[in-house]
Amino acid sequence: MQLGRLLLFRVLIIIFILVLSFLNCSKSTEVKNNKILVATSILPLADFVKQVGGNFVEVFHLVPPGASPHTYELTPSQLRRVSKARLLVLNGVGMEFWANKLIQSMDRTKLKVVDTSTGIKILDAEDEKHHHHGHDHEHHFGNPHIWLDPINVIVQVNHIKDALKEIDPSHKEDYEQNTAHFIDQLDNLHKDIFTEIQTWQFRRFICFHPAWIYFAQRYGLEQAAVVQKTPGMEPSPQELVELIKIIRNIKAKAVFAEPQSSPKMAETIAEETNAKVIFLDPLGSEKKLNTYIELMRYNLQQMALALK
């Protein structure tokens, strides 16, 4: 009888140990897979989050490849996904025209919002007016294309680092190290761009819309004119005449177009002025140019085709 009880006791102990081991394994797996869900507006910001957050974050961006962030409106499924995120990373400067309504609809006790433009000197918007489905949205706050200057990106990634440290202080050292490593890459990129541009013969360029002002100011270039001052709106006949005149005066070899917009107008202007159409990409895509460093090196090579 006592032997039977002893055997039963041992069996129960073994079962208890197995159950405890199972629970511990389940718990460690849950912690391991419990990444911070982060939403960003555009792909470059998503890359910044990945560079800082590493294996501790899961990131998605809202503006799809080929779409313009100035006109894209979020879908219901995207709104639902954002509601599950812990962090929403915005470019700021009015680019996310939908941000205020989105934020007001979210539970702010669960969602932290970061405006990465804070502390960056914002350049003039040149009276841009953005039309979205019949409504006017002006960039009252200035030109939003801050991420196209690598030095501005250093400010942006530090904002992301601070937000992740606040949400997940247990990995703050990882975020600090990842950020320092990425800033080293940004510094090298900046130096390479500066060195390359010193070899260029021309300094003035024509682009599709005023995305490259920050880049131009940082590296001593000049955006002489833009094809489309307002996203989605073609230039007026008077603007077109003036644009062609500027291209001829500065002897521009190319008009810079963008894959997020139709190149037809740029092609028409290029034909009138014997210029080429060369594509710059401010956003990249998941399949091509999906990291910021790669994207900016591509754009530098493309610019060199017209300005070197």
**pLDDT, mean over the chain:** 85
CA distance 204 to 251: 9
Which of these, 307, 298, 254, 253, lies nearest to 280 by C-alpha position? Answer: 298
Q: Taking residues 282-306, report their average pLDDT.
A: 93
Lowest mean pLDDT among 1-5, 152-156, 285-289: 1-5
pLDDT higher than threshold 50 for residue 303: yes
pLDDT at 59: 97
pLDDT, tens digit (0-9, with 9 covering 90-100), for 197-247? 999 999 999 998 899 999 999 999 999 999 887 766 788 889 889 999 999
Burial class of 130 by CB neighbour count within 10 A (0 to 12, 13 to 18, 19+): buried
Tokens of 174: 């990882």
pLDDT higher than threshold 90 for residue 293: yes
Provide the percentage of residues in the chain whose pLDDT is more than 90: 61
- Whether 116 and 159 have beta carbons less than 8 Å apart is answered as yes
- Whether 204 and 254 have beta carbons less than 8 Å apart is answered as no
Lowest mean pLDDT among 20-34, 97-111, 194-208: 20-34
CA distance 47 to 37: 14
Confidence of residue 13 (pLDDT cuts 50, 70, 90): very low
pLDDT at 23: 40
Lowest mean pLDDT among 19-23, 142-146, 260-264: 19-23
Report helix, strand or coil for 46: helix
pLDDT at 4: 52
Residue position matching structure tokens 């918007």: 125
CA distance 43 to 261: 17
Which of these, 151, 114, 128, lies nearest to 70 by C-alpha position? Answer: 128
pLDDT higher than threshold 70 for residue 9: no
Q: Taking residues 96-102, report their average pLDDT.
A: 91
pLDDT higher than threshold 90 for residue 125: no
pLDDT, tens digit (0-9, with 9 covering 90-100), for 25-49? 333 322 346 899 999 999 999 999 9
pTM of the model as a whole: 0.83
Domains, the chain, with CATH or none: 34-191 (3.40.50.1980), 196-307 (3.40.50.1980)
Q: Taking residues 118-146, report their average pLDDT.
A: 65
